[in-house]
Structure 1
Amino acid sequence: MMVERITRSIMSFLKAFCFYLLDTCFAWFTPKWRREARLTGKAVRKYVNYNSDRMDPAKIAELDDLLASLKAALLAWNREESVRIGNLLRAQAEGLPGARRAGWVECVESIFVILLVFLGIRTYFVQPFRIPTGSMQPSLNGICVHPVDEVPSLPVRMAHAVAYGSSYVDEKADSPKTITGYDQQTKYLLFTETVVTFDDRSTITVPSAMGAVRDYFQTRFQTETPHFEAGDTIIRARVDAGDLVLVNRMAYHFRKPERGETFVFDTRGIKGIAEHSGDQANGSHYIKRLCGVPGDSLTIDSPRLLVNGKVADEWTIRRVMDRVAPYNSHGYEPCPPAHPVPPLFRVPQQYLAAGQTLTLANPPSDPNMREYAALGDNTVNSLDSRYWGPVRQYNLVGPAMFSLWPFTWHWGVIH
C-alpha cells in the first residue's frame, strides 16, 4: 500500500511537471483552447495576488475554487471543461475593478521590465563598449576620418551608415578664416563630436573624436591650424564609427586574465590618466592588449616585446612584432624619452623606455593590487602602460569577446 501511494505521487508529480514544461517552454505548440484557458487562469491569479487585501474574502474563495477546477481540467486535458471554466473566469473578471487595464499601462510595464532585464545583463554579464581611438588598429578600429574626393548620393550614404556606421561631412569656407581651436563634446549622451572654431568665431561640427579631427588637418595641411580662403574646402571626409564590442563581465570572476587577449579596464587610480586628465577621465574605460600578467617582467627591444627575458610567444602579440600588413612596420616601441604627448598625459615617470624593465606586482596578500600591462597594437598611436604604468586587478572589467558592429572584416569573435 505504501509503495502504491509513493508510486502514484511520483507519477502525479511527473505528469504535472511535464504539463508545466509543455505550457511554458512549448506553449505555442499546444492547442489554442489550452493556451487561452491557461492565460486566463494566470491573469486571474495575478489579479487576486495583487488585490487580495481589497477584495471580499468570499469572492477570493470563489475564484480560488474556479482556478483549482481549471488546473484539474488542464491536467486531465479536458477541453470542454477547460473552456467552460475559462469562460466563467472571464465573466467573473469583467466585474472586478481594475481587471481590464489600459493599453498604455501594459506598454509602460513591458518597457520597464525590458529595461530592467537589459540593465541587469549590462551590469553583470555583457557590456557594450565603443572603441574611441585608433590605439588597437588594425585589430579593432576607433573613430577614423578619411578624406574623400566627393560625397556619395543619399542612398549610398544611408547604406554606409547602416552597414559600416559611416557618416559624411562636407564643409566649405564662406570667407577667409583660420582654425583657432578644437573642442570635443558629447551629444545626446552617446555620440562624440568635435567643434572646430575659426578666428571669425564661426564653427563647424565634425562627428568624431578630437584626436582624429586634428590628425585629419595635420595630414592634409601639415598644420592643425590651416588658413582657408573663401570657397576653399575645409573638410570633405567620411567618418567611420569605432567598433562596437561586447565585453564579458563575468569571465574574470571564474578564470585568470590571460596574456595576449584583448581586455577592457576602467581608469580609476591610474597615474597619468585619472589624476592628470580631470574629472572626465575618472571612470572612463580603455581597451588594450593584455601583454603582461602579475609577476611578469617586461622589456621592449623594438620591435620585440620580451616577457621574462624571452620573446612573447602569444600569437596575438607576435603578429604585432612580425610587422606584416595590415599591422604597421613599428612592432612594439619603447616610450620615447621626449614624451611627445599632450601635456595632460605627461607624467614624470617612464615605465617602458628604452632599456627599462617593468615588473608587475603579484602580492599574495592583496589580490586587488595585482598588476597587468596594457599595450596598444598600434604602438605609435597608443597611450598605454609605457606612459602611465600597470593596470591593477580592481580596474579590470573583462575580455572583449565579440565585435558587434559595423559589419566589416572585424565583425565576429575578437582575438
Structure 2
Amino acid sequence: MSNAAEIPLLVRDYFWKPKWKKEALGTLKGGQKFLNYKRDLLEQDRVDEISSRIKDLKEVIRKRDQDGVKEACKQLQGTCEHSLKSYRPPDALADNLEVFFVAIAVALGIRAYYVQPFRIPTGSMQPTLNGIIGNSIEDPNWKKPNIVKQGFEKLTEGRTYVKAIAPADTEIVDVREKRWFWFFTKTDVFFANGQKIRLNGSPNAVINGLGMGKKLNFYSNDGENYGFVAGGNRRFPVKKGQVLAQGWVDTGDLVLVDKFSYHFRTPKRGEVFVFETRGIERIVSEARMNDQNRGSHYIKRLVGVPGDSLQVQAPSLFINGKLASEPGMKRVMSLEDGYQGYFNAPEIVSRTQKRPQGYRTALNTPTSKIELAKGNGKDQYFAMGDNSANSSDSRYWGPVDEYLLVGPGLFTLWPIENFGFIR
C-alpha cells in the first residue's frame, strides 16, 4: 500500500509521465512482447535470461532510479537482439501495422458477437428512427449551398444536397439501388445512351422525395419497383440539361444493435428489434420478382410475443384484449410528436399473401385478430413500424420466427442530432 510520501509522485505520473519513464515502459513492453512471440524459438537459458532482465527493469522503474533504468533498458534490448541470429527489432511501421490489424480483428469480433451497426433505410420507424428522406425543391434557379454549410449539415444532420441533370437527349431505362461501403445507399440512374449518374439516397428518396417520379410520370409498385422490372421496356424521355431531381436527402440513422442479449433473455414486447428476412417468404419473393437488392435485415418495434392475440382499432393496438401499455407503443398511440397511431392493413393483403403457420387472420379490419404461435420451437413475434401508415411489416408478410431474431436496437450513433439510446 502506498504511503503518504508516494501519493504526490503517483499523482504526478498520472497526469504527466516523465520522458525517461515513457521510454523505459516502451522497452519493457517490447521485451515482454518479444518473449511472448518468440518463446517457442528460444533456448530455455535465453528465456530465463530475458525474464531476469525484465524483472530487473521493473525493479529500477519502481525505485525511480534513472541511471539504473537506462542501464537495464540497454541490457534487456541487447539480450533480446542476441537471442536469435536473424532477429531485428521491429520498426515503427511494423508496430503500427500490427496495432492496425489487431484493432481490425477486435472490431470484427465485436461486430460478429456483440454489437453491429445498421443503417435505417426507410421511414417505417419514424419519428423514433429516421430513414433516408428526400425533400424536393421546385425553384428552377436553386443552387446548392456553399461547401461549409454542406459539410456542417452533413455532420450534424446527415444531410446531402442533390441536383441531377440529364446529360443528353435520351431516355431513362432503369433506376437501381446501390450500396456503397455497406452503410451508404445510393441510386444509379441508367440512360439509353449508356450513360449513368449516381445520386445520394435510396430510389424511394430520389423518385418520391426529390420529385423525379412527379417530373417524369413514373409509377410505383409498393414504393419499390418504379416501372423497372427485369426484362421490362418502360422508358422515360429526357432532354439535355433537364432537371431530373433536386433538393436534399437526410441520411438514415446509423444505429448499433445488441447481438448478445437474446442469447440470455427472451425478447421483450415494446422494444425496437432487428431480425433477418431470409425466412420471410413474401419479402424474399417480392425482392426476387422485382430484381431488387432488399436488405437482409429489418428494424421494427416488437409489438407481439409468442402467445399474444393482437387487434388494431385505429389508432390503438390491443394485446390480449387490453390496450397496449408499453412506453414505446403508448407513444405511437398518443398522436403527439409526429406519431400517427396504428392502422389496419389493407384487406387485399389477406387475399393475396401466403400465410405462415400460426397466422390466423390478417389485421385488415378493426375486428380482425392475430394469434401468435407459442411453443414446440415455433415461437412467433409480431413486428410493426412506428410509422404504421407507411410501414411494410408483419401485417403484410406475417410473424417473424424466433430463429430470425438478431437483437434489440441499442443506440443511435449518427447523425449527431439523433445521438442517444433507442427507446
Using the size of structure 2 for normalisation, the TM-score is: 0.79
Secondary structure of the corresponding residue to residue 274 of structure 1 = helix
1:347 equivalent in alignment to 2:340: no
**Matches for 1:329-344 after TM superposition, within 5 Å:** 331-339=341-349
Q: Does residue 326 of structure 2 align to residue 314 of structure 1?
A: yes
Contact 2:150 2:161 in 1 (8 A): yes
> Residue 125 and residue 174 in structure 1: after superposition, are their counterparts in 2 closer, same or farther (change >3 A)?
closer
Aligned to 1:326, which of 338, 342, 361?
A: 338
Q: Which residue of 1 aligns with 2:79?
A: 92
Of 202-211 and 46-55, deviating more is: 46-55
Larger deviation, residues 101-110 vs 299-308: 101-110
Does the CA contact (< 8 Å) of 1:266 and 1:397 recur in 2? Answer: yes
Aligned residue identity for 2:282 = G
1:175 to 1:36, Cα distance in 2 relative to 1, 3 A: closer
1:163 CA drift (Å): 1.8
**Structure 1 residue 52 displacement after superposition:** 4.1
Unaligned runs of 5+ in 1: 1-13, 341-345
1:106 aligns with one of 64, 86, 95: 95
Q: Deviations over 1:47-88 (max 9, x none)?
A: 234334544555444334333433444556655544432222
Structure 2 distance, partners of 1:293, 1:122, is 27
| Distance in structure 2 (CA, Å) of the matches to 1:115 and 1:286 | 26
Q: Which residue of 2 aligns with 1:137?
A: 126
Gaps of 5+ in 2: 220-235, 356-360
Letter in 2 for 1:124: Y
How many Å separate the matches in 2 of 1:222 and 1:164?
29
Matches within 5 A, 1:288-303: 288-303=300-315
Q: Which residue of 1 aligns with 2:274?
A: 264
Query: Are the aligned partners of 2:164 and 2:199 in contact in 1 as well (CA < 8 Å)?
Result: no
Moved more, 136-145 or 272-281: 272-281
Which amino acid in 2 is paired with 1:387?
A: Y
Structure 1 residues 59 and 321 mapped into 2: Cα distance closer, same or farther (>3 Å)? closer
**What's 1:67 paired with?**
54
Given the alignment, which residue of 184, 188, 191 partners 2:184? 191
Alignment match, 2:392: 383
> Distance in 1 between the 2:248 and 2:400 partners?
34
Shift of 1:121: 1.6
Q: Is the 8 A contact 1:27 1:35 kept in 2?
A: no
Give, in angstroms, the shift of residue 118 of structure 1.
0.8
| Distance of 2:151 and 2:251 partners within structure 1 | 14
Aligned mate of 2:149, from 152, 156, 181: 156
For residues 56 and 289 of structure 1, do their structure 2 counterparts lie closer, same or farther at Cα, with a shift above 3 Å needed?
A: closer
Match of 2:31 among 33, 39, 44: 44
Match of 1:223 in 2: 217
- State the distance in 2 between where 1:192 and 1:161 align: 15
Question: 1:47·1:99 contact (CA, 8 Å) conserved in 2?
Answer: no
Q: Is the 8 A contact 1:274 1:281 kept in 2?
A: no
Structure 2 contact 309–372 (Cα < 8 Å) conserved? yes
Q: Give the paired residue count.
A: 384
Letter in 2 for 1:123: A
Residues in 2 aligned to 1:73 and 1:232: alpha-carbon distance in whole angstroms: 77
> Where does residue 223 of structure 2 map in the other structure?
none
Shift of 1:209: 1.5
In structure 2, the partner of 1:400 is 409
SS at match of 2:395: helix
Instruction: Using the TM superposition, give the Cα deviation of residue 140 of structure 1 relative to its aligned residue in structure 2, in angstroms.
Output: 1.0
8 Å CA contact 2:212–2:244 kept in 1: the answer is no
- 3-state secondary structure, aligned to 2:245: strand
**Is contact 1:267-1:281 (8 Å) kept?**
no
**1:121 corresponds to which letter in structure 2?**
I
Q: Counterpart of 1:223 in structure 2: which amino acid?
A: N
SS at match of 1:335: coil
CA contact (8 A) 2:81 2:87 kept: no
Please provide the CA RMSD for this pair: 3.2
Structure 2 equivalent of residue 117 of structure 1: 106
Deviation at 1:256, TM superposition (A): 2.6
Deviation (angstroms), 1:347: 2.4
Distance change (3 Å), C-alpha of 1:375 and 1:34: same
Summarize deviations over 1:369-411 as a string: whole Å, max 9, x none: 3211100111222110001111122222111121111122x32
For residues 289-327 of structure 1, what are the alpha-carbon distances to aligned partners after superposition, in whole Å with 9 as ceiling and x for unaligned?
Answer: 111111110011122111111221223212222323422
Deviations 1:150-193 (A, max 9, x none): 32122211222222222111123455555443222223444322
Provide closer, same or farther for how the CA distance between residues 307 and 283 of structure 1 changes in structure 2, counting only shifts above 3 A.
Answer: same
1:116-169 deviation digits (Å, cap 9, x = unpaired) = 111122122221110011111111111111113432122211222222222111
Aligned partner of 2:197: which letter? I
After superposition, residues 164-203 of structure 1 pair within 5 angstroms as 164-173=157-166, 179-198=172-191, 202-203=195-196
Closer, same or farther: CA 53–252 of 1 in aligned 2, 3 Å: closer
Pairing 1:235–2:245 present: yes
Percent of aligned pairs sharing the same letter: 37
Q: Are 2:379 and 1:370 equivalent residues in the alignment? A: yes
Mark the CA change 1:54 to 1:229 in structure 2 (over 3 Å): closer, same or farther: closer
Distance 1:174 1:247, change over 3 A: closer
Against the structure 1 CA distance between its residues 170 and 222, is the aligned structure 2 distance closer, same or farther, given a 3 Å change threshold? closer
Q: Which amino acid aligns with 1:113?
A: V
Once the two structures are overlaid, the 10-residue window that deviates more, 146-155 or 96-105, is: 96-105
Quick one: structure 1 residues 108 and 183, their matched pair in 2 at CA, closer, same or farther if it must change by over 3 Å? Answer: same
Q: State how far apart, in whole Å, the 1-side matches of 2:334 and 2:102 are.
A: 50
Change (3 A) 1:232 1:30: closer
Task: Return the TM-score normalized by structure 1.
Answer: 0.81
- Measured in 1, the distance between the counterparts of 2:133 and 2:403 equals 31
The 1:411/1:42 distance shift into structure 2, 3 A limit, reads closer
Deviation at 1:333, TM superposition (A): 1.4
Does the C-alpha gap of structure 1 residues 159 and 70 become closer, same or farther in structure 2, counting only changes over 3 Å?
A: closer
Q: Please name the residue that 2:422 is paired with.
A: 414
Q: Structure 1 230/201 Cα, relative in aligned 2: closer, same or farther at 3 Å?
A: same
